[in-house]
Amino acid sequence: MTQDAMAQLVANTILQGSDAMYGRFLDVTSGAQERFEQQDWQSVQLALKTRIQFYDHHVGLVSQQLRAMLGKEHATRSFLMAVKAAYIKLLDDYPRYDIAESFFNSVYCRIFEHRNIRRDKLFVQSAQGGRIPKYPTPLLRRFQSQAGIYATLERMLDSTPFTLPWRDKTSDLKRITQILQARFGPQLTMSFTLEMVRQPFFRNKGAYLIGSSIWPINAAPWCYRSRFLSKVSSILMPASPTVMTSVSCSASLARISWFTPLSLRP
């Protein structure tokens, strides 16, 4: 087999491993909302550990497979660069390229035992140039302003997939409206759009609604945290727009201390 053919085989093997890992990851995360609504915090912690174990398990499987496929004669710079080049081509129009690139790095480090680490052989920065992946379903819901900020926010909250009722949606809406009015003032009288990620982000005992407010001349990101108490829900905290500019990935959302809390409901 030629070097290019072997490099292509290795690249395919790594990406298949990444896909297998992601499929099992989805199996676990698909139950996140149910665990949240049932307040099954023990299962929430178990699911977190399971997801981490899935990643490590599949990195190990692919690494073992590649060790069996390859000999020491393949541990050359030209071959490693050929593998990376073949992998980059596989990621053209691939929606989860960021996860796939991280998985590639993990397999590489596992095989070489964290030696021979070079920027040109790994994905230190994405090879996709920051492109936005194409997804079959739109990731955002958009709500054009109608009859003021209160009514627009209400339509937004009503679109969430939660199956339990809000504890006191009216009070929550009033509080959010007051905070937005204090922060943005006259801008709220202008035509604006609220954008919200379709699915909440679940982390520990919280669920996060993530989106942005868009005006003709400005935009401000936001994040609302929801917690279910006694089988009812209440929004607890909107994030500071200034803080949210630094929140660019789901891992960052684990740092709850970044959010500015409002008064908790009993």
DSSP letters for 109-163: HHHTTT-S--GGGTTSS-TTTTPPPP-SS-SEEEEE--SHHHHHHHHHHHTS---
Q: What are the distances in angstroms from CA 150 to CA 147, 165, 169, 218, 221? A: 8, 18, 11, 20, 18
How many residues make up the chain in this entry?
266
Query: In the block, which residue shows the tokens 């209400």?
Result: 154
Please say whether the beta carbons of 91 and 100 come within 8 A: yes
Note down pLDDT in tens along the chain; length 266 residues. Answer: 888 999 999 999 999 999 999 999 999 999 999 998 888 999 999 998 998 899 999 999 999 999 999 877 777 889 999 999 999 999 998 988 999 999 999 999 999 888 878 888 999 888 988 777 666 667 788 888 867 788 888 898 899 888 888 888 888 888 888 877 887 777 666 677 888 888 888 888 888 888 887 776 666 666 666 654 433 444 444 444 333 333 333 333 333 322 323 222 32
CA–CA distance, 194 with 224 (Å, rounded to integer)? 13
In 3D space, the residue among 113, 111, 119, 118 whose CA is nearest the CA of residue 63 turns out to be 111
Contact 83, 10 (CB under 8 A): yes
Q: For residue 150, what pLDDT is reported?
A: 86
Contact 207, 190 (CB under 8 A): no
CA dist., res. 93 & res. 249, Å (int): 20
CA-to-CA separations, 105 to 50, 88, 95, 119, in angstroms, rounded:
21, 13, 18, 11
Report the alpha-carbon distance of residue 168 to residue 92 in Å, rounded: 47
Contact status, residue 227 vs residue 234, Cβ threshold 8 Å: yes
**d(Cα 51, Cα 29) in Å, to the nearest integer?**
8
Residue 47 CA to its chain's centroid (Å): 16
What local confidence, expressed as pLDDT, does residue 71 receive?
76
The pLDDT of residue 52 is 87
